Structure 1
Amino acid sequence: MRDAHPARPTLETVARLAGVSRATVSRVINGSVGVTSGVREAVDRAVDQLGYVPNPAARSLVSRRTDSIALVVPEPATRMFSDDAFFTGILRGIGQELEAADKQLVLLLASTPASHHRIMRYLRSRTVDGVILASLHGADPLPGELAAMGVPVVASGRQLAGSAVPYIDVDHAGGVKAAIEHLLTQGRTRIATIAGPQDMVAGIDRLAGYRDALAAAGRRSLVEIGDFTRESGTSAMRRLLDDEPALDAVFVASDLMAEGALRALRQAGRRVPQDVAVVGFDDATAARSTEPPLTTVRQPIHETGRMLAQQVLKLAAGEDIDPALILPTELVLRESA
């Protein structure tokens, strides 16, 4: 009885049909130079006729490429797959660029020490051509460990540990300065902030920008800390109102936290912007549909994702890249301020 499933075509099968050697077929499939156009066309015809599909594992052994890029995020899945605009935009930008380069994206979440060790074992096996790091906390050892292994790696945001890993960041301080100066120009005198987590560069730099801008204007800082979630914005806004009932403006270090702050202000009977002006940071899609629409600092999240992918692909190809790229931010005025 004949097998209902014919044997899968091999390199040898393709070579016989194309009238070339197995080594020549391998060179054509792996994109090597030094093959004439006529030979390449003959191999391509044979591949199409036979329906030959290269074995990814064998191909990676020959080319030392896997055509995969890992995005490593030290966050739990509940945060990664929430409605956080940063992760959505970064993923969209990275995915768009890798799709155009015919590369595969591998998502790895490293929220616990156990997952960190598991990911390091995975990456040591050279199963990807490069790594993008996003949402780093504190002195995370991942950038240094990956660089020491010789893995091409690029980070979103500079690292607190001061590693030599190339990174792409935005002008946090410049964006916050523009927001505070706008509020001061409006005549706001008691300007508070809901800062982001202080183990992340974005949280640290935005708080520093707020303090510097208020100090330059001779104003007093009023600070509460959140964790870039909507719930933390609500809780922090309530604490600010308890501590300083007369506050008339608040800069919030993310749009998601600003949504929570707007909720707390409504519950407290404070009108926005008549009683309290609110400015966020990100320019997430939801900023246009809050009540009222949110004035915010726009950071180029999607563009950051695209540039992260471009940079790691250059590194994987052996090219040199700029060790630090800082993208501009922009204040977007809407009804909340």
Structure 2
Amino acid sequence: MERPSTTTVPRAGAARGATAATIEEVAARAGVSRSTVSRVLGGGDRVSPAALESVRRAIDELAYVPNRAARSLASRQTLAIALVVPEDTKRFFGDPFFAAIVGGINGRLASTEYLLNLFIASGDPGDKTSNYLVGGNVDGALIVSHHASNTFLERIHRAVPVVFGGRPVAADGSGYYFVDVDNVEGGRIATRYLVERGHRRIATITGPLDMAVGSDRLQGYREVLAEAGLPAGPAENGDFTVEGGAAAMARILAAGDPPDALFVASDLMARGALGVLQAHGLRVPGDIPIVGFDDSPVATEIAPRLTTVRQPSREQGEAMTDVLLARLAGEEPPRATLLQAELVIRETA
């Protein structure tokens, strides 16, 4: 007997071992065209509420799973986005900044088909990370916490659409897309607050100066002191870590003539500096007030609670993702997006 030439639609609740449903079967079950199902799978744009509900119900009944591999081949897309962090794992998992950034990125991608792939690539030994990313395995990349020495990032930048979190150190204003916090103004805000309270010997603990974030916060500190007619105080690199902040504070105290106030360019470093000051019998804020930077959870975990400059890290992750998604959609977003910092006054200053 000859088989009928109609599409067979499996019954709802088919056994797990049955042949997977196709997009044509979903369309037949929903009573719509194949293109309507495709639009629903792509996000539901330009589909009536009734058709949207019918397609979603058919997908559930047929246990339909989109064939991502086939769709990717057809569109030449991987539907993967890389987050590249040129730091070691201790730094990545120990700094709340990264958790906030990832939270913002993941929140934005949740409503898309893109998957986030994380690459912790300190130095990229053997070009393992860059070889993978330039080999057509991702559609684009987000890069945060980059240093001037991370030359492998330029190879990724030439191969796929990239958005940097923070201004690239070597950026000349052309060819780069980035989302940054106004770190120069953040350094100014912190230092101005201390100057306005009568402090005249203000030291600073900086982040790495081969990163724009480190040099920009130092620049803001120096600008305010110069405008106030005050000399720049001691400046020591704390490497954005608790241990580095403690070591930098110890060096400042060992040099003699301790400062009467301190601007620390991250909350983690401020935590380390606070411990050293307390160990030396110095009161905070009584003897040396401190202003940090980040407004991370660390700021409220220490005692006294840290006065700090808030940087909108989660919002930065969201904005980076928006810019990259716009680029992947063929749009032309702004190359530079600058977010504002603000002072959060607590107990250390």
Band of TM-score, shorter chain: 0.7 to 0.9
- Aligned residue in 1 for 2:335: 323
Pick aligned residue for 2:131 from 115, 121, 127 = 121
Contact 1:8/1:52 (<8 A) preserved: no
Secondary structure of the 1:326 match is: strand
- Out of 257, 262, 265, the residue aligned to residue 245 of structure 1 is 257
* Offset, 1:7: 3.9
Choose which of 139, 147, 162 in structure 2 pairs with 1:153: 162
Q: 1:296 to 1:61 in 2, by over 3 A?
A: same
**Of residues 296, 304, 314 in structure 2, which corresponds to 1:284?**
296
Change (3 A) 1:203 1:24: closer
The corresponding residue for 1:8 is: 19
The C-alpha deviation readout for 1:191-229, integer Å capped at 9, x for no partner, is: 100111011111111111112222222222211111000
Alignment-derived partner of residue 224 in structure 1: 236
Cα deviation, 1:265-292, whole Å, max 9, x if unaligned, reads 0000001111111110111122123211
Report deviation, 1:36.
9.0
* Cα distance between partner residues in 2 of 1:234 and 1:184: 24
**One-letter amino acid of the structure 2 residue matched with residue 158 of structure 1:** R
C-alpha distance 27-227 of structure 1, shift in aligned 2 (>3 A): same
The letter for the 1-side match of 2:124 is P
Q: Which residue of structure 1 aligns with residue 315 of structure 2?
A: 303
Is residue 2:212 matched to residue 1:201?
A: yes
For structure 1, the 5+ residue unaligned runs are: none
Identical counterparts, % of pairs: 43
Change (3 A) 1:19 1:201: closer
Contact between 1:139 and 1:161, CA under 8 Å: does it hold in 2?
no
Cα gap change, 1:276 to 1:52, in 2 (>3 Å): same
* Partner of residue 78, structure 2: 66
Match of 2:91 in 1: 79
Please say if residues 265 and 292 of structure 2, whose CA atoms lie closer than 8 Å, have aligned partners that are also in contact. Answer: yes
- Of 96-105 and 40-49, deviating more is 40-49
Aligned counterparts of 2:38 and 2:111: Cα–Cα separation in 1: 23
State the match for 1:215 in structure 2: 226
TM-score normalised according to structure 2 size: 0.85
Note the residue ranges of structure 2 that are not aligned, 5 or more in a row.
1-14
Amino acid at match of 1:76: D
- Quick one: which amino acid aligns to residue 289 of structure 1? E
TM norm structure 1: 0.87
Q: 1:42 to 1:296 in 2, by over 3 A?
A: closer
Distance 1:237 1:15, change over 3 A: closer
